[in-house]
Amino acid sequence: MSAESPVQWSDHERLLLEERVAAAELAWLTLDVDVETLRVEIDNFALVHHRLLGPLYASLDELDALIAETVAARSGDPEALRRASEARSRVAEPDDPAAADLAPEPPAAAKVRPDRDAQRIYRDLARRAHPDLTTDPAEQERRSAFIARVNEAYAQGDNAALEELAGEWSTAPESAPAPDSPERPDWLLRRLEWLTARIGQLAAEQVRLERTPMGELLLLAPQEPERLLEELAEQLLGRAAERRAELERLLGGADPQGPHSGGRHNGGEDPSQHRSRPDSQENPTMFAQALPTTDAASVPADAALLDVREQDEWDAGHVDGALHIPIGQVIARLGELPDEKLYVVCRVGGRSAQVVQYLVGQGREAVNVDGGMFAWEAAGRPMVGTDGRAPFVL
């Protein structure tokens, strides 16, 4: 029994304490994995959201600015001129490499002098955890990684972090007394206290991540983030179509994108008359954009075709020889795309329009297949199903 703890522990009490620590260990490890997984999922979702939907948001901002400027030019009203100026200021400026050279340098970080408490904790940890105190390679590696964290906290003068590291080292499983040691109960209590604190910190971090804008968005469809991006794209495309129609009305019916913007074609009967998926809001009227577009009947037989639908849609029916990359994987798998003109297809045309806009922004030559696989089927173009099944558009 340690001098600090005169309490006598019965075998039953020690067993219960061991079980509580084991349960806390499991809860900590499980929550740690959950939080780290959530962090990675949010980061990945934010990246895809920005790269795929960013151009659509930029197009909406540009249309809003054009509408406001047209109204201001026609009315001359000071308030309309002010609104037009504000709308134009919201349009994202293109990246300018020269601007980076003109950006002011960040201020140098202020030097921190660790106080006496930090020095005391640092010396104590160095004496107990230094890698040279062991000859085991694996243990040396573990100690080196730990001391690196200690050095970082000390360099920043972060006493709270040093205290936490001291608690972590003193309660680490590697420093645990033997099961029959009289010091074992005290160590178990310290370990339980450390685990409880870590679980609380992780729970707070999980709540913080879930309440970020991207976290709240991802939680709307945690199992199908690609479908969520698809629905968001459809909404943005619909809003863009409304803005474009308003701008055309203000300009007296002229095409605001000019005569070479590319029109829409109908390669067969209205896709909305075909089978529909209840979990999708695709509407072909939403996809009118100033994007390279062609009808399904005009796609060359030897064209490089990119199908961005999900796996179940692909399995039901697809074009033989097409490259299949679901929309949520396009950015990560850009290297798989052939270096030639790409014809992009989905079910109706919404997801493919989204991908085409992204590819065009990347300097790639890409064309949206208007009406998607529904139009392809209506045009009598050949399809195949997975495993020899009769093909159909899902």
Rounded to an integer, what distance in angstroms lies between the CA atom of residue 140 and that of residue 345? 55
Which residues on adjacent β-strands are paired with residue 323?
Answer: 306
Q: Which residue has the tokens 């829409």?
A: 264
- Give pLDDT tens digits for 182-216: 888 888 888 888 888 889 988 999 999 988 888 88
pTM strictly above 0.75: no
pLDDT at 268: 38
Query: Among residues 170, 165, 159, which one has the least CA distance to residue 147?
Result: 165
In contact, 189 and 289? CB cutoff 8 Å = no
- Each residue's pLDDT tens digit, 308-319: 888 888 988 999
Is 195 a catalytic site residue? no
Rg (CA), the chain: 31
Tokens of 354: 């989204």
Which of the following is catalytic: 21, 129, 344, 346?
346
Percent of the chain with pLDDT over 70: 81
194, 20 contact by CB (below 8 A): no
Q: Confirm if 393 and 374 have CB atoms less than 8 A apart.
A: yes
Give CA–CA dist 378/392, Å, rounded. Answer: 11
CA atoms within 13 A on the CB side of 166: 18
Three-class secondary structure of residue 184 per DSSP: helix
The per-residue pLDDT for range 233-286, each reduced to its tens digit, is 878 888 888 888 887 787 764 444 443 334 333 333 333 333 334 334 344 333
The bridge status of strand 304-307 relative to strand 342-345 is parallel
Q: How far apart are the C-alpha atoms of 175 and 178, rounded to whole Å?
A: 9
